[in-house]
Amino acid sequence: MVNAHDLLWGMTLAHLPADAPAWVRAVIAAAHPVVVRRALAEPGYVAVGVRGRLREQRFAAVMPMAAVQRRVTPEALCGVISPRDLPALRALDQLRPVLARKVWGVTGSAGFELATGIEALHAQSDLDLLLRTPERLERGEAEALLAILDTAPCAVDLQLQTPYGAVALREWAGPARRVLLKTASGAQLVSDPWQAVA
């Protein structure tokens, strides 16, 4: 079972569509991992994204589950320490004790860099985090957590992973009655991200 934001190794050039751009082929030829994305795929396949060096270089693809050789979850990266000194990594150091009693993980550029050692972060990078919230996080708790995250040395984008999808902590901590829940079948406006979407 794989989840959104897991990193997977094992994709080959044979798994790419014929029209895949040259940069995508170079990334896969270099044996970089792909990231599981929130989308539906045929049985036996997983929807993945290929990351390039530039922010706009993102390519959606599918990978056979049978090809997966290694999987790294966001949670597996919580304790990985980088020798680099960047705001996103300083923010991660600062927030580790805050999140220590929760089930959380590192995603985005920071997660990719910590998992691979390939430099993906720069001085302006945000820190992307994931918090597993099988039980409802009250809006007051969300506000308190957001206030702590906002003291970090860079912008922190934390996604709450509910049983039904993901919602941005910043949105759930805000005043809007309905929030955007990202699911495998698309995004929906919901009043309660912990309720099954009809």
Tens-place pLDDT, residues 38-55: 999 999 999 999 999 888
Q: Taking a C-beta distance cutoff of 8 angstroms, is the pair 5, 43 a contact?
A: no
Q: Taking a C-beta distance cutoff of 8 angstroms, is the pair 41, 49 a contact?
A: no
Beta strand extents in the chain (DSSP E only): 7-9, 34-36, 45-51, 58-64, 70-72, 104-107, 127-132, 156-162, 165-168, 179-183, 186-190
pLDDT at 156 over 80: yes
pLDDT at 1 over 90: no
Confidence label for 87 from pLDDT (cuts 50, 70 and 90): very high
pLDDT at 69 over 90: yes
**Percentage of residues of the chain with pLDDT beyond 70:** 99
**Of the residues 126, 150, 157, 192, which is catalytic?**
126
Average pLDDT over the chain reads 95
Q: Is 128 noted as a catalytic residue in this protein?
A: yes
* Angstrom distance (rounded) from CA 63 to CA 28: 12
pTM of the model: 0.93
Residue 65 burial class via C-beta count within 10 angstroms: exposed 0-12, middle 13-18, buried 19 and up:
middle
pLDDT of residue 56: 86
* Angstrom distance (rounded) from CA 108 to CA 128: 5
**Of the residues 6, 19, 93, 128, which is catalytic?**
128
pLDDT at 150 over 90: yes
Q: Is 157 noted as a catalytic residue in this protein?
A: no
Name the DSSP letter for residue 5.
T
What's the average model confidence in pLDDT over 104-133?
96
pLDDT of residue 23: 96
